[in-house]
A = this chain, B = another copy of it.
Amino acid sequence: MNEIERKFIADKTKMPVPSSSVDIRQGYVALDENGSEVRLREKGGMYYLTVKSGGDLERMESEIQISEEEFEKLWIFTEGRRVEKIRYKIPLEGGLVCELDIFSGALKGLVTAEVEFKDLSTAESFVPPVWFGEEVTRDSRYKNKNLAVKGL
């Protein structure tokens, strides 16, 4: 599966009040110099292993679900490369959905808004709502893997 996404810094003072949320912790088992990554994620009591290829706007991605026991066996390899955040889903115009991530721990204060699109033309014609700040889609510092390893 290919993902087409744009990412922004969000302004907490202007955004709508989110309703449901899910706690996420994720860590990176391996970060390849070609940009690909192997990520472990616990999300709402479910456990996933995800592989992503390199790239900014469009990346190849595959995910498998694993058990809690398997997760713990692999989680030890993510030490020093972890991120914790709360994710809110906020509906936008045009049937789009914003994934709003409020980070905690060492990244406390950072709030990002990410929107996934069905194709490149929808992505390019997207008009961000006013509470979206700076776009960081191509700013590699805001990739979660870099936030996990290097912080802000």
A binding-site residues for B, Cβ under 8 Å: 29-33, 36-38, 49, 51, 53, 60, 62-64, 66, 70, 73-74, 76-77
Number of copies: 2
A37: min CB distance to chain B, Å: 7
Nearest opposing residue in chain B for A33, CB measure: B33
Closest Cβ of chain B: how far from A114's Cβ, in Å?
Answer: 22
Chain B minimum-CB-distance residue to A35: B30
Q: How far is the CB of A67 from chain B (nearest CB, A)?
A: 8
Given the known inter-chain contacts A51-B74, A53-B77, A77-B51, please indicate yes or no for A29 contacting B33, CB distance below 8 A.
no
Cα A36 to Cα B33 in complex, Å, equals: 12
- Nearest to A50 among chain B residues (CB) is B74
A131 to chain B minimum Cβ distance, whole angstroms, is 35
Instruction: List the B side residues contacting A33 at CB < 8 Å.
Output: 31, 33
Separation of A38 and B37 alpha carbons in the complex (Å): 10
A109 to chain B, nearest CB (A): 28
5 contacts between A and B (CB under 8 A): A29-B38, A30-B30, A30-B37, A49-B49, A60-B77
A66 contact from B29, B36, B37, B64, Cβ within 8 A: B64
Given contacts A29-B36, A31-B33, 5 further A-B contacts (CB under 8 A): A30-B32, A30-B36, A49-B49, A51-B74, A62-B76
Interface centre among A30, A33, A36 (most CB of B within 10 A): A30
